[in-house]
Structure 1
Amino acid sequence: MRSSSTGQPKHASNLPVSEAGLEHEFTAALAALAPRHPLAVAVSGGPDSTAALALATQYALDHQHPAPMALIVDHGLRAESAAEAAMAAEQARAAGLTAHVLFWEGTNPAANVQALARAARYRLIAEQMQTLGLRDLITGHTADDQVETFLLRLGRGSGLKGLAGIAPTGPFPLAGYTGLRVLRPLLGVRKAQLVQHCEALGLRTVNDPSNENTAFARVQAREIMSTLGTLGLTHGRLLATIGHLQRASAAIEAAVEQLLRQAVRFEPFGFAKISLSLVQTAPEEVALRVLANGLRAVSGEPYGAEFDDLGRLWHEVRASVAYPARTLSGCLVGRDNGLLWVAREPAAAASTSVDIQPGQSAVWDGRFVVALGASYEPGRYRVAADRRPIRRADLGAYPAIKGQLATLVPSGFPALWRGEQCLGPAALTPGQGLHARFLPLQEAGTAS
């Protein structure tokens, strides 16, 4: 990752006074999220994020908090992107803020561009936040984004949790960044208001042409809103519906959290065991969410399986004691009498590799925090899956791995490599070599 920094870490005091109504709305929304200062603001140069930065700066000034920092990602996907990132950074610097421009390096993708760019953006921002000691990131998601997300998920047949839309706050959308949060205090604000706000403050903004490209589903959803309005499905009514769904989803989520603690056990070698007797007695919506949580944790993916696929798997596994292992969301799911087990799919883990040096730590496959002892012999190392059986000593100390899991777990467990030579699997306890800790256990504070 490359980055450039502009500005000084001082408090911004020379921004124009923001419009009172929007400022008050932003203040109430942000305060409700209990922000941890100083804040990071993801800035693209567009009106949404530019307004978010201005409002966050005014909030910090009014409440005597340290000024926020602007984090700007240059994806390098368009010829204009470098100039736009530089403009956004210069504008932040002129307001007395610190700005960091982060660069996505490598080959531009030919397909799935928006998803890959989004993942790269969040990764770059998370790494910079950790470097700067920042914990909360403000994004410029608006009421328009909320409604578009609802429509897209409705078209995919999402369940209640998906239709509840974008949450005002939540954990970072990439695995491995425990402790970082995303705050979205503008979800109740229309984009047009933010455009007007930037104009009133004399702030420069840029327009990404992809926002007008009808090849993207989100743009198509935006365009049908005028038609939906003739049926009474206005932004206001859709937002009210999303609010109702969010309250219902939150009530269900409380039951899910309780059942997760009772019925799911995450094992240090990177798999999960789920008690079918406990989960089967729960309401189906709760049971499906528990299963989805297990799949997300074991796969390392921030998003779960499609609702229909998840439902089919759940009905199949309940109906057959001799349920054969099935793949879903980068995992293999099988049944062992009264237990459902979830393990990483070997082919999915085999494609993941991360470079590491002695004394460094990294996240491998979105599932394990790995660390190489500082006293290890200097050299170029990488962490990748090891398809060899786990050492007999490890199995003796950890007898939970048996049957089909005994062949699956090693292929989804991190090992240390030097060139094409595998030096052996990671240890579960810190030492001189490679140490691995399964992220669900680390996030729960559970000892191995």
Structure 2
Amino acid sequence: MNIKRALISVSDKTGVVEFAKELHARGVEIISTGGTAKLLADAGIPVKQVSEVTGFPEILGGRVKTLHPFIFGAILANLDEQSHIADLEEHSIVPIDMVVVNLYPFEEVQKQTRDEDTLIENIDIGGVALLRAAAKNHRNVVVVCDPNDYQKIIKLIDSCGDIPLHDRRMFALKAFYYTMKYDATIHKVLSELFASEKYEHMTFEKFSSPQTSYEILDDVNEKFVKLSKYTKQATAITLGAIVVASEPDLVIGFNDSLPLSMVNLKASGGRICDLTGSTLVLRKLTNDMARKLRESTFTTIAFEEIEDEEYAKDTLKGKELIRFSYTIDITEVDKIPIAQMVGNMMLKKIVKPWNVFQLLLSFMPKNTLIAEQDDGFFKFEICTNNALEILERLLIMTEKMGTKILNIYTNAEIDSLFTKICGERAINIFTF
């Protein structure tokens, strides 16, 4: 058994207790920090605090925990180099064989706020350094950044007592990609916050200059949605355009790039009263729709077709009107690549099998419910505590309104009680 010592420090604690128990059962010493250490200790797993290893306490409110030679020397030592081994022995540093880390949830936090102090405090420093150090030294250290890999690692250890080099390389590549995306998101969000409109980064995305015509790209050659002019709401409009390509009767509202409200016009009889947000996307902007939107909260309205452009401009004076067009055959919606916006660039992502709600939930935080009502409106709810609480609140709300929930689409983990309550009310559940 070559994995003798593991450092575990995770923000996303999904499955970490079970994983740590499996490692401990196989004789692995576990080192951890803060909340992760407490969680593991409370579960009865022997765990050594990082401060016990370094002889130095966490400082600066937790900003500095692992940044110490007793940690990074233990991770970065090349055990094929005699001079490295000599350094370890001279300074009494014990090698670390596995690093299990995922980062502060900057991606989720930025969907909820643009408060600079909150964003800054959710930028991970030590975690990124740990991942990069372990990935660099992957021949000696197994790096784990994805909870989905926990079970695979245990199986590999049980089958051969170690993690084969091929798998070590794959885990290292995953860690480098994970930190790259993390930094790209930070750069994009802070660039917007600091009022910069030019993002000079990326390897997999293509840059499109907002100073000229603005086109949204899904890879370096293929264009699938084009906007009539540059707008800061490009992410929302792109996602909305793909949604309404699949379901032309849908009208969807966004707050920044986060889906917030939606209605099926046919099912609602043309009512849009419950739509809220800052950006609205629909297939056709009719004169009737323009009148209904005149006093709405929406400041940007995007459409493919328009009944009377002059009438709409006059009626919706003060609102940003953006026309979008599809540059591929939208009759084959399942072939439309989904793209995640990063600054002025798009990262290609295929969602299969094709489903509008699977697409929407892929852009929403974990633990989101989308409830489809019989009046054509959809409620978007993020489960801050648990899905059952949100379900109960939705049921009370719809009963008061005299409506009924038909379907629930979710990326949350749901339990048997949730399923039972839905079953009693003939509500279909779709999980993604």
**Greater Rg, structure 1 or structure 2?**
2
User: TM-score under structure 2 normalisation?
Assistant: 0.27
TM score, norm. by length of structure 1: 0.26
